[in-house]
Structure 1
Amino acid sequence: MSMQATGDEIGRSVAVGDRLTLDIERIAHGGHFIAHAQGLTIFVRGAIKGERIVAEVTQVKKKIAWAETIEVLTSSPHRREAPCHYFRERACGGCDFQHIDLAFQRELKAEVVADSFRRIAQMEIEVECLPAHGDVSGLHWRTRMDFTVTPSKRLALHPHRSDSLTEITSCLIAHEEMDLISINASVERSKIRPWERFRVAVDSDSKVRLSGRDGTVEMKVEKKSFPISIESFWQPHLSAASTLVDQVMELLNMREGDHLLDLYGGVGLFTAFLRDAVGETGKVTLIESDPDAIADAKRIFSGDRRVKVSAGRVEQKIKEIESCDLVLLDPPRSGVAVGPNGVIAEFQRLRPREILYISCDPATLARDSKALVEAGYEMALIRAFDLFPMTEHIESVAKFIRKGQ
């Protein structure tokens, strides 16, 4: 069945495969744009707010539907031809916004952050989404990519919201040294089995590293070297680490002798710079649960009496801390543990004078910001960064100061 209708003509009998003419209203978290019709909220990919488009419904669930743009009737001035044929053919879900000019992508991402705070935290904020250091085009930035190996032993990625696979021979957001044709040839000769995950990484010297062949990747940030496992987390944008380090060093008011907690600290990117700032009498406690990251951090900081690396879940290990002056938070997408036995409850006990929160999810950042305000902190500032151009992902940095200081 196929139908085309507008506004009030659309009923609740909308089904997968139907074609709807929609007026796009605003950006939504998750790479979609919102339209409404006859009691349905419709999340549309490939659109831009202000456009009138024809979309094909891909999923319907109660009062919500999802759809893909198949024709643009009234185009936004910010629309452009997507440079990647996989994106144009909807064959790969790795990018969300290739059809939007880069400057407007960043405006939209700032709107997502502000809207999350308005809806979830009941906070009105002003925020700008800034580029990573040196990022002009939004292309060729990704230094780490995970693929699935197909039965024909080729690298593949998934279309959006799909279990199917598209074999990939090029990627415009991948680092320029990530030659997927050559890497595919290496995969064909390898012993890797179909359906396994395969990671490709590019180190700071632009050398390509492959999972199963290369165990260590050396990353460098401002003359500091981090030899880490290819399986450990590292920000994929080639300038993300230096961009975030600059923010941390600018925004945390560190003093000689401070005890600083680096929570969800990974391999110790920030700890490597924080230990210098707190001086010989200061201390940094890094808490991390991932085994690969912990192994890397213990090796990097071996013999440094200013750094303690603690393996375990943050909500458990923080209970062993008796006092601290500052906190750096860089949690996963799920945010920090809230509630009476959560991390934020421990901040009420420890009473650090400042908390710097680095977040990859605006919704959980808004939720946790509300909890921090209720715990006696005020948000001094928030900045957003476009560390994942062409995608819906946003990195944010928010600073909190204890009230009454």
Structure 2
Amino acid sequence: MANSRRRHARVARPAGTRHRAPTRPAEPGPVLELDVDRIAHGGVAVARHEGRVVFVADAVPGERVRVRVTDAGHDRFWRADTLEVLDASPDRREHVWAEASVDRAPEHRVGGAEFGHIAMRRQRELKGEVLHDALARMGGLEREVDVRPVDPALAPGVDPESGTGWRTRVRLHVGADGTVGPYAARSHRIVPVSSLPLAVAELEAIAPIGADGRPAGAGTGADSGASAIDLVAPSTGAAELVVRNPGDRRRDHPPTIVERVGERRFTLDRGGFWQVHRGAAATLTRAVQEAVDPDRFDPEADNQDLYGGVGLLAAAIGDRFGPSTRITTVEADARATEHAGANLADWVGARAVSDRVDRYLDRLAGAADAASRGLRGATVVLDPPRAGAGRAVVDRLAGLRPAQVVYVACDPVALARDVATFREHGYELETLDAFDLFPNTHHVEAVARFAAIV
């Protein structure tokens, strides 16, 4: 998952900042009392009103809540914010981030921790239910999913009971008046905060926020036209505060950082993609190594790491199967590819290619020996962006007939769609493991293995 075009491309933003603000009616919408049934993909709860689906923020399945409709512009569904919990679920807890609590007015609730009011065990169950539902509806498979927490040994300083202290990258936004903070949920409104509970301790210590909830922007550039402040805590070296200005342009040689996974070190641009959870890179390294079927693995085959970023998962394969393993890592971002080449220098059979994956696969298919060999016997690690690999890439890849595909997915619906396409080509889902790499949010990571059924 070292792909520079992933959902946390460059420095990761709080989850709530990735969604367009909903279309709100000119006048306040109706206030309703609703019974909540389940969780939908995207982290909102599902209720019904007079036959219409209502997506409700900040609720828990099984609750009765009083809500205000915020978007009634659709025939089939409405969106609403919870105003009051009338009958609370036993799984409801005090929100881990006070500024996101249901006690606040919805417009003043910070985004990025939409599951923070739900007990950790129940959060993981809900994520498993969403993944199960997506696979059933779109992938044509009934598969129970157990979402596992990150091994505490891989994530020092992270509180597994509260799901806090795990984010190593945070973006704060800066308003025209110098206000510093994350965005409110589902909007671009900046909310001043007094804490960043999901962030690792090193970032909280340097964050320009005030103990009284007022921003402490002096000396950060917040008062000089900055548009954002990025906080980065690599696994080696000191945490950094980086002021972003509207006129900033990408530099030819941006600053780099070094991340460590076990005994391996990975160099990347400070603003480049890296897993945001302190223990995620190690978790996925282990998961990918375990997902590969050794009986199908050929170290001399044309093994591939697609959407490979700076080489994290290619290194996982090399570490498991030895330094002579042949593997090509492919990434569209040229800087990430440059770093991947250096990070994989230990493997004589490794190479890094800068290219779009679809174009790269087209060239493989057009090679002189494609008809006789293609990727037959090869293992492919596939780690696409949030939108998934998509039909075009899966069609091309399956046509090259690799022995197995290990797919790292960060979106249940995108994974389910690609599962259906793989199955059309005779590749069945053999194993599926899911990990809670984003506690207190709705996001979940999955590692799947596909193989051709002969």
Give me the TM-score of the superposition, normalised by structure 1: 0.90
C-alpha contact 2:174 2:190 (8 A) present in aligned 1: no
Indicate the residue corresponding to 2:380 in structure 1. Answer: 327
Structure 2 SS opposite 1:113: helix
Equivalent position of 2:135 in the other structure: 117
Structure 1 segments of 4 or more deviating over 6 A?
A: none
Of the structure 1 ranges 89-98 and 370-379, higher mean CA displacement relative to structure 2 is found in 89-98
2:119 aligned residue (101, 106, 112):
101
**1:319-343 Cα distance to aligned partner (Å, 9 max, x none):** 22353301111111111131xxx21
Tell me whether 1:52 sits opposite 2:64 in the alignment.
Answer: yes
Deviation at 1:75, TM superposition (A): 1.2
Question: Relative contact order (C-alpha < 8 Å, sep 6+): which is higher?
Answer: 2
Match of 2:155 in 1: none
Aligned length: 389
Q: Does 1:211 align with 2:261?
A: no
- 1:246 maps to 286
Distance 1:291 1:153 in 2: 35
Q: What's the counterpart of residue 262 of structure 1?
A: 305
Aligned to 1:87: 100
Distance in 2 between residues matched to 1:186 and 1:16, nearest whole Å: 33
- Paired with 2:281 and 2:228, the residues of 1 have a C-alpha distance of 25
Structure 2 gaps of 5+ residues are 1-24, 153-157, 210-214, 245-253, 365-369
1:166 to 191, 198, 221: 191
Who is 1:230 aligned against?
Answer: 270
Distance 1:169 1:267 in 2: 35
Distance apart, 1:276 and its partner CA: 3.6
Which segment is superposed worse, 298-307 or 163-172?
298-307
| CA–CA separation in structure 2 for the residues paired with 1:276 and 1:181 | 36
1:196 alignment partner, one of 227, 231, 240 = 227
Aligned to 1:6: none
The answer for the alignment partner of 2:334 in structure 1 is 291
SS of residue in 2 equivalent to 1:383: strand
What is the match of residue 367 of structure 2? none
Q: Give 5+ residue unaligned stretches, structure 1.
A: 1-12
Looking at structure 1, the residues matched to 166 and 386 of structure 2 have their Cα atoms a distance apart, in angstroms, of: 21
> For the aligned residues, what is the CA RMSD?
2.4
Alpha-carbon offset, residue 168 of structure 1: 3.2
Secondary structure at the counterpart of residue 85 of structure 2? strand
Aligned mates of 1:206, 1:390 — CA distance in 2: 27
Matched with 1:140 is: 165
Contact in 1 for aligned 2:174/2:180 (Cα 8 Å): yes
Counterpart position of 2:32: 20
Structure 1 window deviating more from structure 2 (112-121 vs 211-220): it is: 211-220
Amino acid at match of 2:78: A
- Give percent identity, aligned residues only: 33
Residue 176 of structure 1 and its aligned partner are, at CA, apart by 1.0
SS in 2 for 1:96: coil
Residues 357 and 291 (structure 1), Cα distance of their counterparts in 2 relative to 1, 3 Å cut: same
| CA–CA distance in structure 2, aligned partners of residues 332 and 20 of structure 1 | 38
Could you tell me how far apart the structure 2 residues matched to 1:66 and 1:194 are?
35
Provide the C-alpha distance between the structure 2 equivalents of 1:144 and 1:228, rounded to a whole number of angstroms: 14
User: Deviation string for 1:93-147 (max 9, x for gaps)?
Assistant: 1111111100000000000000111221222111101011215131000001122
Structure 2 residue matching 1:104: 3-state secondary structure: helix
- In 2, Cα distance between equivalents of 1:216 and 1:111: 39
Aligned to 1:167, what secondary structure does the other structure show? coil
1:15–1:74 CA distance, 2 compared to 1 (3 A): farther
Deviates more, 1:329-338 or 1:104-113: 329-338
Give me the TM-score of the superposition, normalised by structure 2.
0.80
SS of equivalent residue, structure 2 residue 289: helix
Q: Within 2, Cα distance between the matches of 1:35 and 1:162?
A: 22
Distance 1:167 1:295 in 2: 38
Task: Give CA deviations for 1:141-181 in whole Å, capped at 9, x if unaligned.
Answer: 00011222223445321111112111234211000111366
- The one-letter code matched in structure 2 to 1:201 is V
Give the secondary structure class of the aligned counterpart of 1:210.
Answer: strand
Per mean C-alpha deviation after superposition, the further-off stretch among 108-117 and 266-275 is 266-275
Structure 2 counterpart SS, 1:297: helix
Residue in structure 2 matched with residue 362 of structure 1 by the alignment: 412
Q: What is the deviation of 1:296?
A: 2.1
- Classify 1:91/1:302 alpha carbon distance in 2 versus 1 (closer, same or farther; 3 Å): same
Which residue in the other structure is 2:10 paired with? none
Q: Distance in 2 between matches of 1:295 and 1:302?
A: 11
Distance between the aligned counterparts of 1:187 and 1:330, measured in 2?
Answer: 38
CA contact (8 A) 2:325 2:350 kept: no
| Cα displacement (A) at 1:305 | 3.5
2:48 to 36, 40, 44: 36
Query: Does residue 66 of structure 1 match 2:79?
Result: yes
**Gap change, CA 1:189 and 1:57, over 3 Å in 2:** same
8 A contact 1:255–1:278 mirrored in 2: no
Residues in 1 aligned to 2:358 and 2:338: alpha-carbon distance in whole angstroms: 20
Measured in 2, the distance between the counterparts of 1:167 and 1:174 equals 16
Distance 1:25 1:130 in 2: 24
Contact 1:170–1:180 (CA under 8 A) maintained in structure 2: no
Which shifted more, 190-199 or 223-232?
Answer: 190-199
Counterpart of 1:389 in structure 2: which amino acid?
A: P
1:401 corresponds to 2:431? no
